Structure 1
Amino acid sequence: MKILHICAVDDTAQTLLLPQIKYLLSRNLQVEIACSSGVETKKLREKGYIVHSIQIDRKISLISNVRSIYNLARLIRNNQYDLVHVHTPIAAVLGRIAAKIAGTKRIVYTSHGLPFHDLSSPIQYRFYFTVEKLVAFITDLILSQNYEDIATAKKLGLCPSDKLRYLGNGVDTYRFHRDRLDPSHQSQLRKALDIPETANLIIGTIGRLTRKKGSGYLIEATAKLLPQFPNLHVLVIGSQLSTDPEPFHTELIEKIHKLGIEQHVTLTGERQDIPEILGLLDIFTLPTFTHEGLPRSILEAMSMNLPVVATDIRGCREAVVHQQTGLIVPPQDSNKLAEALAILLSNNQLRQAYGNAGRERIEAEYDEELVFKRLASFYQKLGIHLDETSTNLAINNF
């Protein structure tokens, strides 16, 4: 049976969707991807994945959006997919409309955080809710990465409750395991990242360089922390995509230089060795204030026995248990962020306790195998047969 996954950019396919796609391929399904072309497209194709390059803007633009719907509908109609599975806000709306036009029998939507949330303006909230409610009529199943979105959707009457299911988010607990780190490699990696030898405490964050991911607040917090922790170093892991609606890279660098802390901050750019980089950290933080589903970066950090400081927003507050696996702080508040980080920076025993509790929580609730099993169950209820005996390893680097 043939499945099409649709998302806005190939980076999303590479970083977020690939584990599920690999699993579905191993169960003897034909799985293809449709997204805007980028640097990851060639890499995915070289590994054997079928990627259809269709331009999908990450903003509302009538002419461009209509063109995307037309091209997606043509692709879906020509390939006669048994199920279309959509992701990311704009692509999810356009993809569902296209799938309906093309006559697809099964349409599934994974919400990586509903686009309306408690930090939206009233106008934004009403608009995005109305759009989501309308396209929910043509959606067979809506999968949520967190429980809070399900409760919100039911409370607001977004769709019939039998269309809503919890999928969750997960991490490869084998790959993200501190015991797999090689001390000599870690030492070399530290040098390669130009982390000063004097740095004895390291904080890190992961995410695209957009304003809403909150790295600017981390930089402000760092400046506040340095008088107390002069040997502190910060790693900002991630890059800026050309399609990002709110580019932030230049502004972030300017902020770092304005505060005079460039010797204490490293912008790593895009990295593939995330477990190893996380292995260098003492604390992980995600000061985001955007619409998160259940941030995988937090789960990966917890899997690596790191304490986490996260903001009090949907998804983050579900993953991090306050004063058990980390600390929760108000969003867009560098003072409160600095205070929480200072608590952990000054207490190694507390860092270890939170980190160990985080790893236990990941093993119990956020192993990606649990997500795969839920997804398989949802697909089977929609009439998509998965071969549980198959061990299809046709994809390179599977």
Structure 2
Amino acid sequence: MKVLHVITGLGVGGAELQLRSILQHTRHDADVVSLYNPGDVAAMIRDDGVRVRDLGMTSNTQVGAVLRLRDLIRDDRYDVVHTHLYRACVYGRLAARLAGTKTVVATEHSIGETHLERRRMTLGVRALYLGTDLCSDATIAVSDTVARRLVDWGVRPRKITVIPNGVDFGRVRFDPAARLRVRGEHGIPSNAFVAGVLGRLDANKRFHLVIDAIAPLLDQRTKLLVVGGGAERERLEALAEAHGVADHVVFAGERHDVAAMLSAMDLFVASSEQETFGLSVLEALANGIPALYTTCPAMDGISTPRARQVAGDAEALRAEIAREVAEGRGRADVPEVRDRYGIEAVTGRIDDLYPRLQEARR
């Protein structure tokens, strides 16, 4: 089948990297259109041999972009249009129906209690989403939590299919050589204990909470590695300075070598206020390191001593980090994570959904 994936942008982010992993494992003939911001992930996807086009939008209110996207879909005669992220859902689902596409699917990656992809859930946002949902055949929710929130929002339950994000275990495999290299780049002793966080530096991730928690534990043998870029960086750097631990908090910036960065860590900490899945926790476990998290729907139903949920306050988090530092547990596999979230199986479920929807429409 010929499939067009429409995504809002292709800067580095969870949904964008998840799309790349799906494209690497799909059995269908797939292309990608980015509404705007064809960033680093667009280059990665092109390097994988997939065609990526940029619609060239410059604002969120370009109604004419719907018609340009309609023509693109119609000219290339796609069997399926699959949208990712809010703005792509609004534009892509409508354009696909105008083009006469037989099967239209959306994946909802991130819907919180109060925000949809960092966008406050106003009546206008909801109306646009639900209005264009009338143009789709199905919505993939990446977790049961997302499915429940979609139903609460007004999406019909019969249109929702839960297919989790997948983990490419090869992409995040532990690399001992990379561990030494990354530590050397940032002046981290090879025998130090390194706790780490990874993700976009925005307020929802609450990385300030991790700094508050771990600051009294940091010294020459215990470090914090912060991987990611974003608006919160200056605030976080100032916080480390205020705690007097700036020499022990390493800001690595935005990195694409996830396996290498995880390999440099001995403990992963996820401190988000809201999460709809929690892919970074799964990637850390796949790399072999233990994880502490405040919320992670992906871990619902998985019981393992390698990952523990902790309260979202500095004192409770500090106690759990101190316990991990003292135990220094090393690396180990979590078979249930591998069995449930392997990218090959997840992509297979998405690939199977398309023809099933086409048959149902007939």
Could you say which residue in structure 2 is the equivalent of 1:376? 351
Aligned to 2:258: 274
- Cα separation, 1, equivalents of 2:317 and 2:242: 20
Matches within 5 A, 1:377-396: 377-383=352-358
* 1:343 corresponding residue in structure 2: 323
One-letter code aligned to 1:328: Q
**Cα gap change, 1:252/1:157 in structure 2, threshold over 3 Å: closer, same or farther?**
closer
1:210-359 equivalent positions in 2, closer than 5 A: 210-226=202-218, 231-240=221-230, 247-290=231-274, 292-312=275-295, 315=297, 318=300, 321=303, 324-331=305-312, 333-348=313-328, 351=329, 356=332, 359=334
Runs in 1 of length 4+ with deviation above 4 angstroms? 115-121, 125-131
Quote the RMSD (CA, aligned, Å).
3.1
Q: Retained in 2: the 8 A contact 1:170–1:299?
A: no
What CA distance in whole angstroms lies between the structure 1 residues aligned with 2:293 and 2:116?
Answer: 16
1:201 counterpart (187, 193, 200): 193
Q: How far apart, in 1, do the equivalents of 2:39 and 2:189 lie? A: 34
CA distance in 2, matches of 1:276, 1:62: 36
1:177 has 2:173 as partner: yes
Separation in 1 of the partners of 2:115 and 2:309? 16
Aligned to 2:164, the other structure's residue is in SS state: coil
**Pick from 102, 107, 111: which aligns with 2:108?**
111
1:342 is displaced (CA, Å) by: 1.9
> What CA distance in whole angstroms lies between the structure 2 residues aligned with 1:95 and 1:28?
19
| 1:53-72 mapped onto 2 (5 Å cutoff) | 53-55=54-56, 63-64=61-62, 66-72=63-69
Q: Tell me the alpha carbon deviations over residues 178-215 of structure 1, each in whole angstroms, 9 at most, x when there is no partner.
A: 4xx3x445323321232145x62111111112222222
Residue 86 of structure 2 corresponds to residue 76 of structure 1: no
Q: Distance in 2 between matches of 1:219 and 1:19?
A: 31
State the alpha-carbon separation in 1 of the partners of residues 61 and 54 from structure 2. 18
Deviation at 1:17, TM superposition (A): 0.7
Aligned partner of 2:132: which letter? Answer: V
Aligned to 1:243: none
Q: What's the TM-score once normalised by structure 1's chain length? A: 0.78
Q: Which runs of 5+ in 2 are unaligned?
A: none
Residue from 79, 86, 104 that aligns with 2:83 = 86
**1:310–1:316: 8 Å Cα contact kept in structure 2?**
no
Question: Is it true that 1:16 corresponds to 2:53 in the alignment?
Answer: no
Shift of 1:142: 0.8
Residue 355 of structure 2 corresponds to residue 363 of structure 1: no
> How many Å apart are 1:22 and its aligned residue?
2.0
Over 3 Å counting, the alpha-carbon distance change for 1:344 and 1:48 in structure 2 is same
1:168 offset after TM fit, Å?
A: 0.7
User: Alpha carbons of 1:347 and 1:302: their partners in 2 closer, same or farther (altered >3 Å)?
Assistant: same
Q: 8 Å contact 1:117–1:125 — kept in the other structure?
A: no
Q: Which amino acid aligns with 1:344?
A: E
Return closer, same or farther for 1:361/1:279 CA change in 2, 3 Å cut-off.
Answer: same
1:320–1:327 Cα contact (<8 Å) kept: no
Mapped to 1, the partners of 2:39 and 2:173 lie a distance apart of 30
Do the aligned residues in 2 keep the contact of 1:140 with 1:163 (CA within 8 Å)? yes
**In the comparison of the two structures, how many residue pairs are matched?**
355
2:201 partner SS: coil
C-alpha displacement of 1:264: 0.9
User: Do the aligned residues in 2 keep the contact of 1:203 with 1:234 (CA within 8 Å)?
Assistant: yes
Distance 1:130 1:327 in 2: 38
Matched, 1:191 2:171: no
Amino acid at match of 2:61: I
CA shift, 1:234, in A, is 1.1
Does the 8 Å contact 1:172/1:367 carry over to 2?
yes
Q: Deviations over 1:287-318 (max 9, x none)?
A: 1224x3322211111112211111136x2553
CA distance in 2, matches of 1:149, 1:185: 35
Unaligned 5+ runs, structure 1: 241-246, 385-398
Rounded to whole Å, the distance in 1 between the matches of 2:48 and 2:339 is 32
Q: Which residue, out of 141, 144, 147, partners 1:147?
A: 144
Q: Distance in 2 between matches of 1:281 and 1:186?
A: 8
For residues 250 and 107 of structure 1, what CA distance do their matches in structure 2 show?
A: 42
Encode CA deviations 1:294-350: one digit per residue, 9 max, x unaligned.
Answer: 22211111112211111136x2553864x733221344x3333223222222223xx
**CA distance change for structure 1 residues 220 and 149 in 2, over 3 Å: closer, same or farther?**
same
Tell me the CA shift for residue 231 of structure 1. 2.4
What is aligned with 1:395?
none
C-alpha displacement at 1:252, in angstroms? 2.3
2: CA distance between counterparts of 1:46 and 1:175?
16
- 2:113 equivalent to 1:124: no
Q: Which amino acid in the other structure matches residue 326 of structure 1? A: A
* Matching residue of 1:6: 6
